[in-house]
Amino acid sequence: MKQYAWIMAACLTAAMVSGCGVAQKGEEGNGSESTAASSERSGDAVPEGAEAENEKGATAVKLSEGEIYRDDFDGDGKEEEFSFTFEGDGKDNHNLELYAYTMQMNCDGLVYQKELYGGYEETWMIRSADGDHYLYQESYGEDLMHSVTVFRVTSDEIAEAGEAEGRIGDEGIQDVNAFQWADRIYMLGTYAGYRTVGVGADGLPEAKEDAYTIEWLTGPLVVKEGTTLTAEIFNSNGNPENIVLTTGTELTPKKTDGTTYVDAELSDGTMCRIHIETAEGFPHTIDGVDEHEYFESIPYAG
């Protein structure tokens, strides 16, 4: 799996510019001569991102600017055409000058325009097994923060369904019910976390597992001299029990739910869980004590 080049920075989120989407019937598309794939019902070739193993009727197709995607968007048994163009950041080698770009989408003559924060990254058209269509529009912001804006698409209306922090994994969307999602995590350090998601009933990505797998890029955490840390392990009966980590103990974070715990591996291969309090923001605490009091250093951004 390709490594993500996360730049360490203190920015915690990439938000969308509060622009209004405008749609109207009757305008023509962009007139591009390039042709993209339609659904499997048309038998056409599939563009980059290839349809994958999905439940019957579900597809995921990666689209490029100006390509024509053909499918039945309104359930009348006839195919309509969808395409998009964009202007702004993303066309000039990811040169963020305005920190915004404008998407224009065309579905069967319906034109919808939306300004999005950040720079253009990639576009996916998803069709659920029920025949609903969702456009996943990925954007990048300062310090390589990413977000995905989800649009519900029909031939009568294009409407924003919501926004999700993070990005689609490097393998793309091979299965609309199980694909990799990457996000920036701040738990005992700053790093990328990955977990499986699927397209939910509202079109937004829905977690299929509680924990993120951590991409830890630095040396292990080390318990400070003169300090002990209580952690939790699960015994052979599957019951939790406490252990005490003493001065010099090394541990490497492996999994986290992003809000309440980090599972870490000790040098002997033992997995332990450290419970962390995050409700009050930074600094996080462990048993009410600043987390920095327990470790020689914690690799947070900034």
Query: Measured between alpha carbons, how far is residue 248 from residues 104, 219, 269, 296 in Å?
Result: 56, 13, 16, 9
pLDDT tens-digit readout, 160-201 = 999 999 999 999 999 999 999 999 999 999 999 999 999 999
Domain boundary among 139, 167, 195: 167
User: For the chain, what is the radius of gyration of the CA atoms?
Assistant: 23
The enclosing domain of 98 has a CATH number of: 2.40.128
pLDDT tens-digit readout, 28-70 = 444 443 233 333 433 333 344 444 457 788 999 999 999 999 9
Specify whether 141 is located in the same domain as 231.
no
Q: Is 88 left (phi over 0), alpha (psi -120 to 50) or beta?
A: left
Q: Could you tell me if residue 271 is inside a domain? A: yes
Specify whether 42 is located in the same domain as 142.
yes
Specify whether 95 is located in the same domain as 159.
yes
pLDDT for residue 22 is more than 80: no
pLDDT of residue 302: 67
Specify whether 241 is located in the same domain as 128.
no
Q: Could you tell me if residue 193 is inside a domain? A: no
**Structural domain total, the chain:** 2
CB atoms within 10 A of CB 150: 22
Q: Could you tell me if residue 163 is inside a domain? A: yes
Report the amino acid identity of residue 290.
Answer: D
Q: Could you tell me if residue 244 is inside a domain? A: yes
| Widest CA span in the chain | 73
Return d(Cα 275, Cα 77) in angstroms, integer: 54
CB atoms within 10 A of CB 142: 14
- Give 40's contacts (C-beta < 8 A, 6+ positions apart): 51, 59
pLDDT tens-digit readout, 204-262 = 999 999 999 999 999 999 999 999 999 999 888 888 899 999 999 999 999 999 999 99
Domain boundary among 99, 133, 167: 167
Q: Could you tell me if residue 205 is inside a domain? A: no
Q: Could you tell me if residue 139 is inside a domain? A: yes
Specify whether 30 is located in the same domain as 149.
yes
Q: What's the whole-model pTM score?
A: 0.81
Specify whether 30 is located in the same domain as 157.
yes
Q: Could you tell me if residue 261 is inside a domain? A: yes
The enclosing domain of 230 has a CATH number of: 2.30.30
Specify whether 240 is located in the same domain as 154.
no
Specify whether 26 is located in the same domain as 161.
yes
pLDDT of residue 35: 32
Domain around 229: 221-293
DSSP string, 130-147: TS-EEEEEEEE-GGG-EE
pLDDT tens-digit readout, 87-135 = 987 776 666 666 889 999 999 999 999 999 988 999 999 999 999 999 9
Q: Could you tell me if residue 8 is inside a domain? A: no
